[in-house]
Chains A and B, each alone.
Chain A
Amino acid sequence: MENLLIDLIKSCGEFSGRIERRFDILSKEDAKAPEAKEDSSVMFQTIASDVKLVDAVFQLFSSPTRVQTGDQKGLSMVWDDKYRCFKNEQFDKIGDIIILGWKCLRTMFQKNRRAENYFARHNEWVNPGIIRQIPYKVGAARAFETLISDNVALLEQEVDKSIILAFINLIKSHGPEDRLMNFFAAICTCQGAPIKSNQEACLNLLLLN
Chain B
Amino acid sequence: MLIETFQIEPSSRAKRTPWKLSKFSNNFPEEYLGKKVQDEGGFSPIKVRWGKMKTMKGKSNGGSLLKDDFKIGEKQECDITEFFKFVSKTSSQMDSYIFDHKGGSVDDLDDLSLEEEAIRASLTLQWEFSLYYISQIKLFANMCQGRSYNCISHLSKNFPYPMLMHLVSNDKLEFEVRTAFCMLLKNLWVDRYPHSSNCGRPSVPNLVWVYNVLEKTDVDQEGALLHFNLDQGHPCLEMRETDADFEFLSMKSHTKFFLLRDFLVKFLASLEGVQTIGKKSKNDMVLIILRLAADLMSFGFFSTRSKIVQLCEPLLEVLDGRADITVELRSTLGFLKKELEKKRPKKTNASPSSPCHMVSEAGFEMTENPVLPAARKDQFHSRSENKQATCFGVDPDLITQHAGNMTIAGVDAFHLSTTGKCTPEYLNLLARRQIGKSRWSVDSDTLRIMNCKQNMLSVLRSVANLR
A174 touches B59 (CB 8 A): yes
Count of chain A to chain B residue pairs whose CB atoms are closer than 8 Å in the complex? 85
| Chain A min CB distance to B381 (Å) | 37
User: What is the interface of chain A mostly: helix, strand, loop, or mixed?
Assistant: helix
A181 touches B55 (CB 8 A): no
Contact of A168 among B1, B132, B151 (CB under 8 A): B1
| Chain B min CB distance to A16 (Å) | 34
Closest to A200 in B: B150
Could you tell me which B residues sit within 8 Å of A by CB distance?
1-3, 53, 55-59, 63, 128-129, 131-132, 134-136, 138-139, 141-146, 148, 150-151, 154-155
B56 touches A171 (CB 8 A): yes
B1 touches A178 (CB 8 A): no
For A151-193 the 0/1 string (1 means CB < 8 A from B) is: 0000000000000000010011111111101101100110011
B150 touches A203 (CB 8 A): yes
Closest to B66 in A: A175
Contact of B154 among A168, A188, A208 (CB under 8 A): A208
Given known pairs A81-B63, A176-B128, A184-B139, the reply for A206 and B55 (CB within 8 Å) is no
B59 touches A203 (CB 8 A): no
| Chain B min CB distance to A164 (Å) | 12
- Most chain B CB neighbours (cut-off 10 Å) among A182, A185, A206: A185
Contact of B139 among A175, A177, A194, A202 (CB under 8 A): A202
A206 to B132, CA, bound (A): 14
Contact of B58 among A175, A194, A206, A208 (CB under 8 A): A175
A199 touches B151 (CB 8 A): yes
Given known pairs A176-B56, A207-B2, the reply for A181 and B148 (CB within 8 Å) is no
A199 to B152, CA, bound (A): 11
Closest to B180 in A: A185
Residues of B within 8 A of A207 (CB): 2, 154-155
Q: Top 7 nearest A-B pairs by Cβ distance?
A: A194-B146, A181-B135, A188-B142, A178-B131, A176-B132, A185-B139, A178-B135
Residues of B within 8 A of A168 (CB): 1
A172 touches B56 (CB 8 A): yes
A175 touches B154 (CB 8 A): no
Given known pairs A174-B59, A181-B135, the reply for A206 and B2 (CB within 8 Å) is yes
Residues of B within 8 A of A81 (CB): 59, 63
| Chain B min CB distance to A203 (Å) | 5
Closest to B110 in A: A82
Given known pairs A174-B59, A194-B145, the reply for A181 and B136 (CB within 8 Å) is yes
A10 within 8 A of B: no
